[in-house]
């Protein structure tokens, strides 16, 4: 029986990156972002089931990219949906693990310790996500006014977000809501408590050109 599954969910064209190709296919140190992301989970557990969810119009490009670069790590490819909710739901149809993690394709710097802690906590308590502290001051904006808020009451959320299989699959039986910003919000809506583990600050989500530069630097340090 497969113990762990990770669904790696990719987005669409990286407009904010100013790129002609989706950001998960941009290079970091001469290799696509998505290669690095997949390798993080494979090196953590060579037996993990890896499911990559891509928009339909990107699948052939991805297969060609893997062939061109002799990328041999085994993974299933699933067609994504209009929203992240539907992409993850499509990936779940193939998921066989007792514990399932969902990870952003453009977070290639997740630490092995974070992956391990998330899967372990989910195995024990049902649902776990990585978070880290906010270092800047933050303000709440309403209409034309803004007010300072206590940053110690807030956390920044990362991935992988991990869940016992039955919990995640049951939650994705809910009807879609635009309030579902991540998997934890779906699971929480279905009545499951979310447990927090310490993330790693380097686990940035590559959405801007500066993120790509930061990721290249951090990988060289690794």
Alpha-helix residue ranges (DSSP H) falling in the chain: 33-44, 59-68, 84-92, 112-125, 165-171, 183-189, 209-221
166-189: per-residue pLDDT in tens? Answer: 999 999 999 999 999 999 999 999
Gap between the Cα atoms of 122 and 164, Å rounded: 6
Residue that the structure tokens 């928009």 belong to:
55
**Count of CB atoms within 10 A of residue 102's CB?**
28
Confidence at residue 12, expressed as pLDDT on a 0 to 100 scale: 46
Q: Please tell me the distance from the alpha carbon of residue 155 to that of residue 157, in angstroms, as a whole number.
A: 6
What average pLDDT score do residues 190-204 get?
Answer: 97
User: Could you give the domains of the chain?
Assistant: 4-221 (3.90.550.10)
Using the predicted structure, report yes or no on whether residue 21 has a pLDDT greater than 90.
no
pTM of the model: 0.94
Asked whether the predicted pLDDT for residue 14 surpasses 70, the reply is: no
Query: Quick one: pLDDT band at residue 1, thresholds 50, 70, 90?
Result: low
């Amino acid at each position: 029986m497969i113990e762990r599954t990770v669904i790696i969910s990719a987005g669409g064209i990286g407009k904010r990156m100013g790129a002609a190709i989706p950001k998960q296919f941009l290079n970091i140190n001469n290799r696509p972002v998505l290669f690095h992301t997949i390798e993080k989970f494979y090196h953590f557990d060579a037996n993990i089931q890896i499911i990559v969810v891509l928009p339909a119009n990107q699948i052939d490009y991805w297969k060609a990219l893997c062939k061109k670069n002799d990328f041999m790590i085994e993974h299933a490819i699933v067609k994504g949906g209009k929203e992240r909710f539907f992409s993850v739901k499509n990936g779940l149809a193939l998921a066989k693990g007792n514990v399932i993690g969902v990870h952003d394709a453009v977070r290639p710097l997740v630490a092995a310790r974070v992956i391990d802690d998330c899967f372990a906590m989910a195995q024990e308590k049902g649902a776990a996500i990585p978070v880290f502290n906010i270092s800047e001051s933050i303000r709440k904006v309403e209409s034309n006014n803004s007010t300072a808020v206590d940053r110690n009451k807030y956390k920044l959320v990362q991935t992988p977000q991990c869940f016992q299989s039955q919990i995640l699959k049951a939650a994705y039986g809910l009807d879609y809501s635009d309030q579902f910003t991540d998997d934890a919000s779906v699971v929480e809506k279905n009545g499951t408590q979310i447990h927090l583990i310490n993330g790693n600050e380097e686990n940035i989500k590559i959405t801007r050109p500066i993120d790509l530069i930061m990721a290249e630097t951090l990988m060289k340090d690794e």
